[in-house]
């Protein structure tokens, strides 16, 4: 394989592993960031949000949501709900058997084994009315 092709494949692989940061999102939405007040810029730079912020400010502070839901309000308006997800590990315990060699024989021994499975959950919810944060809340990590 040519070195240039290998180098290109390496860059593509690394690009797929890149994570979004406040700084990278700020560069992505530079015009929106420059339009924020100094107080909002300070909060966004710290990864914090508050009521009244625009969707762009929230995007810069927290990144893209996992899901965007649309609700119709009673007065005919549309409300957007951004959901952010987290991951926790759920432990599952179960009884099973293992083979134990002893003096040329194989015995079955009962023991308690564990598996750990990743579980997604909604970690935060932001409600927008008219493109501005109306309310937001973080949700606790579930205990299984």
Q: Please report the pLDDT score of residue 104 as a whole number.
A: 94
Residue 123 contacts residue 84 (beta carbons within 8 Å): yes
Q: Please report the pLDDT score of residue 5 as a whole number.
A: 56
Q: What does the pLDDT average to over 106-128?
A: 96
Q: Where along the chain do its domains lie? A: 3-138
| SS3 of residue 17 by DSSP | coil
Rounded Cα distance between 31 and 102, Å, is 73
Provide the pLDDT confidence category of residue 2 given band limits of 50, 70 and 90. Answer: low
Give tens-digit pLDDT for 18-46. Answer: 568 999 999 999 999 999 999 999 999 99
Q: Please report the pLDDT score of residue 79 as a whole number.
A: 94
Which of 141, 89, 143, 142 has its CA nearest to residue 117? 89
Rounded Cα distance between 60 and 22, Å, is 6
Provide the pLDDT confidence category of residue 109 given band limits of 50, 70 and 90. Answer: very high
pTM flag (> 0.75): no
Provide the pLDDT confidence category of residue 7 given band limits of 50, 70 and 90. Answer: low
Provide the pLDDT confidence category of residue 14 given band limits of 50, 70 and 90. Answer: low
Q: Please report the pLDDT score of residue 76 as a whole number.
A: 79
| In the predicted structure, residue 8 carries a pLDDT above the cut 80 | no
Residue 45 contacts residue 22 (beta carbons within 8 Å): yes
């Amino acid at each position: 394989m040519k070195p240039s092709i290998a180098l290109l494949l390496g860059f593509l692989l690394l690009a797929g592993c890149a994570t979004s940061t406040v700084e990278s999102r700020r560069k992505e939405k530079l015009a929106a960031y420059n339009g924020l007040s100094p107080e909002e810029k300070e909060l966004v730079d710290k990864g914090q949000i508050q009521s009244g912020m625009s969707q762009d400010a929230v995007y810069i502070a927290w990144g893209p949501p996992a899901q965007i839901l649309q609700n119709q309000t009673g007065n005919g308006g549309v409300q957007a709900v951004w959901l952010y997800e987290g991951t926790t590990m759920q432990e599952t315990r179960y009884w099973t058997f293992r083979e134990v060699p002893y003096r040329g024989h194989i015995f079955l021994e009962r023991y308690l084994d564990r598996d750990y499975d990743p579980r997604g959950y909604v970690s935060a919810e932001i409600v927008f009315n008219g493109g501005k944060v109306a309310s937001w809340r973080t949700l606790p990590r579930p205990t299984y």
